[in-house]
């Protein structure tokens, strides 16, 4: 396993797909007293930043969404976008030449991906804390053994 797969998908804390599983629209849009953002808003922010590095040139997005999702499929689409981006970041570990590219003077793609991984970990930790606060932690056990 390459370190990027470890950092983006499976290492140090629960696998990201599992960490984000088993949530309802009501749960992901709830912002408990004292919390700055909902689970949906936290993940939306992560996806926005992750995509800006994985797919540079995408139009700039706001830091957080301007509206809550109205349909559960919007949550599932966001989770899929996050996981797709995380898989793309992890796959870059199989292309050392791509990691070595300077994206700005003195900063390589590997440096950028490390920053994204740290940023993701911070916000995923906030998502776990929010899940704990609303009684939605731990996620249900996966039925397929993953």
Q: Which two tokens stand for residue 89?
A: 């970041």
Enter the pTM of the model.
0.92
144 part of a folded domain: no
Summarised one tens digit per residue, pLDDT across range 71-87 is: 999 999 999 999 999 99
Domains: count for the chain? 1
CB neighbours (10 Å) of residue 88?
15
Summarised one tens digit per residue, pLDDT across range 109-131 is: 999 999 999 999 999 999 999 99
27 part of a folded domain: yes
Of 46-50, 52-56, 57-61, minimum mean pLDDT range: 57-61
68 part of a folded domain: yes
116 part of a folded domain: yes
CATH code, 93: 1.20.120.450
Contact criterion met (CB below 8 Å) for 39 and 131: yes
146 part of a folded domain: no
140 part of a folded domain: no
Q: What pLDDT, on a 0 to 100 scale, did the predictor assign at position 143?
A: 57
């Amino acid at each position: 396993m390459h370190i990027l797969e470890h950092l983006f998908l499976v290492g140090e804390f629960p696998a990201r797909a599992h960490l984000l599983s088993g949530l309802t629209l009501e749960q992901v849009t709830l912002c408990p007293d004292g919390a700055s953002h909902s689970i949906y808003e936290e993940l939306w922010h992560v996806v926005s930043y992750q995509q800006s590095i994985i797919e540079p040139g995408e139009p700039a997005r706001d830091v957080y969404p301007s509206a809550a999702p109205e349909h559960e499929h919007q949550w599932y689409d966001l989770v899929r976008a996050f996981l797709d981006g995380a898989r793309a970041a992890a796959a870059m570990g199989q292309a050392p030449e791509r990691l070595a590219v300077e994206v700005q003077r003195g900063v390589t793609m590997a440096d950028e991906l490390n920053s994204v991984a740290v940023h993701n970990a911070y916000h995923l930790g906030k998502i776990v804390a929010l899940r704990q606060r609303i009684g939605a932690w731990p996620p249900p056990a996966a039925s397929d053994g993953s």
